[in-house]
Structure 1
Amino acid sequence: MPSDAAKSAFAAQIDALLPQTQCTRCGYPDCAAYALAIAGGQADINRCPPGGSEGIARLSALLRRAALPLDPGCGTEGSRRLAVVDPEQCVGCTLCLQACPVDAIAGVAKRMHSVIAQWCTGCELCLPPCPVDCIRMEPLPDESLAGATGWAAWSVDQADEARQRYARHALHHPRRQSGAAQDRGETKPESGEVMSDEGAPSASSSAHPPTSPAADRKAILLQAAMERARQRIAGKPKS
């Protein structure tokens, strides 16, 4: 049985072959977690849509396993796209900033946000939390990459940079586990919970439970509606 060090080293080799979009479509919280699961024999090599068929072939060669078709339960291989924020609709809620695993969105509270194209991995994790649906995915501006999928649209250098950016992001923004991870019965504390030495949330954390994404959306929508109402009132001529 391989040692923990050997398993970690093997997982690092696998992780080096993943595109580092951190999209969670594989069902794991990030690319490193998926790599570790593959190394431990707990996951197949066909669960990464961003890597596509070329990614599966690279993993197949490393692990000396037969290549498999992409698992349809994880999504389909498609052309790489970039997130774009509609400046007319953005309310500056910062929820997309928190969701982006590589900090590719710039902005501050109550100010319009914008996506830094060269850093965007196309993970689409910024879409669900946006309360006003002001983010859309668009094709790459480089026409030479139009329609390119998998590693044909993504380089090793870009993957390495995305891995480094995600590592820095994770230091300051612990990410919540993916829904698929919850389905596997894995439990992790929500961001904001303080863990005791025994691994259970401490009394101080339970006294101030974190708000849910749904509650955040409702609060942002209400705030945006109130702000629009104030602007309309301010714009009316006085009688």
Structure 2
Amino acid sequence: MNPLAARLHAALPQTQCTRCGYPDCESYATAMAAGEAQLNQCPPGGAEGVVRLAAILQRPTLPLDAAHGIEAPRTVAVIDENWCIGCTLCLKVCPTDAILGANKRMHTVIEPACTGCELCVPVCPVDCISLDNVSGDRTGWQAWSQAQADEALARYRRRQLRLAREETEQQQRLERKAEAKLADLPAHTHGAKGAEAERKRAIIEAALARARARRAGSPST
């Protein structure tokens, strides 16, 4: 990030909710710094958040853009354990790894780690996730502290590193599998010969090349 984007990023609440229209707070900050996004697209930051961003950009404040949501009390997700089917869809979208669970096992939310991003709600196939108001009448930055924002960002970054590491490990497994097949092609092509053997060799070599390319393109862990 350039210095301006970094300052804007530091002023955001780090809920990673995507309501601004960008995949995370850093992307929104980068877009604002480039003049590609307005400073009033962050509902979790609310009116105070707009003032913070306007000061950094040295621009007039604007009303929060209702197209991106409204300023509201802070919420946390709650999973009804009686209805949870363990589909893991909510785990996959939680930006701070605030949900614990396993496939076909009941899930639960780590309340202090939940940013209230709401991303888990629409993906639940059995509608067992609700949102509890935990800040009363306090909204925006009055309902969310800098310390909470810092912790949310730290958890988000750890998640990104974990996902990158898991992707690299998956591509390494695919590489080893393809290499093993190439090392003993007759056994893995069921005795195919001639053009058919070459066709299957080409398929395996292409799979190996894809795995290597994806691993090479993965962020460093």
TM bin (shorter chain): 0.7 to 0.9
Name the larger-Rg structure: 2
Distance (Å, rounded) in 2 between the aligned partners of 1:28 and 1:173: 19
Distance (Å, rounded) in 2 between the aligned partners of 1:156 and 1:139: 19
Query: TM-score, with normalisation over the residues of structure 1?
Result: 0.68
Answer yes or no: is 1:25 the counterpart of 2:19: yes
The amino acid across from 1:67 in the alignment is T
- 1:128 shift after superposition: 1.4
- 1:9 shift after superposition: 1.8
Map of 1:4-23 to 2, 5 A cutoff? 8-23=2-17
Map of 1:1-239 to 2, 5 A cutoff? 8-140=2-134, 145-173=135-163, 204=207
Q: Give the conservation status (yes or no) of the 8 Å contact 1:54–1:150.
A: yes
Q: Could you tell me the percent identity over the aligned residues?
A: 56
Structure 1 unaligned blocks of 5 or more: 1-6, 175-191, 194-202, 208-239
The one-character-per-residue Cα deviations of 1:167-225 (angstroms, maximum 9, x if unpaired) are 11112337xxxxxxxxxxxxxxxxx99xxxxxxxxx649x9xxxxxxxxxxxxxxxxxx
Structure 2 unaligned blocks of 5 or more: 165-169, 172-205, 211-221
CA RMSD of aligned residues (A): 2.3
Distance (Å, rounded) in 1 between the aligned partners of 2:66 and 2:49: 15
Q: Give the conservation status (yes or no) of the 8 Å contact 1:47–1:71.
A: yes
Query: TM-score, with normalisation over the residues of structure 2?
Result: 0.73
- 1:111 shift after superposition: 1.2
Higher normalized helix content (fraction of residues): 2
Q: What secondary structure does 1:128 align onto? A: helix
The aligned residue for residue 178 of structure 1 is none
